[in-house]
Amino acid sequence: MSHTLTALESRHSQYALAGTSKLGDQEIVDNIERITVAVPSAFNNQSQRAVVLFGEEHHKLWEIVRETLRKIAKSDEAFARTDAKIDGFSAAHGTVMFFDDTDTTKAVAEQNPAYAENFPIWAQQANGMLQLSVWTALSEEGLGASIQHYNPLIDAEVRETFSIPESWQLLAEMPFGDIVSDTGNTERKAAADRVKVLGL
């Protein structure tokens, strides 16, 4: 367990990323595929989906984000801050997009009507496990990453640009790459404030 704990403790958001990767692209894909198969889901639903973007496809995503946010920015000054952030994400080596296949989630809910209302919640939990697992695996290999949430603003154009099935709901975007400079860890609340133990 110590190895798992160390990996989790060392993982944190990295924003200064390079367009390079010490891990080969195919190895990144292989690892993400293995993780996606291994990560659990309620009732073995397996509705988690991932799309891995490299090269121009990666840059396309962040241009979609940029132009979408440009249209709704309240001021040039506000957009300038956003624009700088997007430059950072686009400068990374690649991006993983995480989705839930809502058709799969709905199907298992229909098969288990007593729990039907919980399946969308459980699907989000399963996707969170996938996101954390991929993030931790990238961190273990010395790559930096962060989780972004520009959905649902970008959903329609992402679906059209990358030929994403209609039933796939975008949940998060994870830019990754070699670390240019360590962003540093954020403050974490003590376990005593967050964990309750009974009967010990």
- DSSP string over 113-146: GGGGGGHHHHHHHHHHHHHHHHHHHHHHTTEEE-
User: H or E stretch including 64?
Assistant: helix 55-72
Query: What count of residues does the chain have?
Result: 200
pLDDT beneath 50, residues of the chain: none
Q: In whole angstroms, what is the distance from residue 36 CA to residue 177 CA? A: 20
Per residue in 36-52, pLDDT tens? 999 999 999 999 999 99
List the end-to-end C-alpha distance of the chain, in Å, as a whole number.
21
**84 burial level (CB within 10 Å; 0-12, 13-18, 19+):** exposed
Number of H helices, E strands in the chain: 7, 5
d(CA 53, CA 97): 8
Look at residue 1 in the predicted model and tell me its pLDDT: 66
pLDDT score for 2:
83
Q: Tell me the pTM.
A: 0.95
Rg (CA), the chain: 18
Instruction: Give me the residue label for tokens 């939990």.
Output: 125
Residue 35 has, within 13 A of its CA and on its CB side, a CA count of: 23
Given this model, what pLDDT does residue 186 score? 84
Report pLDDT for 184: 82
| CATH number of this structure's domain 2-180, picked from the four choices 3.40.50.920, 3.90.76.10, 3.40.109.10, 3.40.640.10 | 3.40.109.10
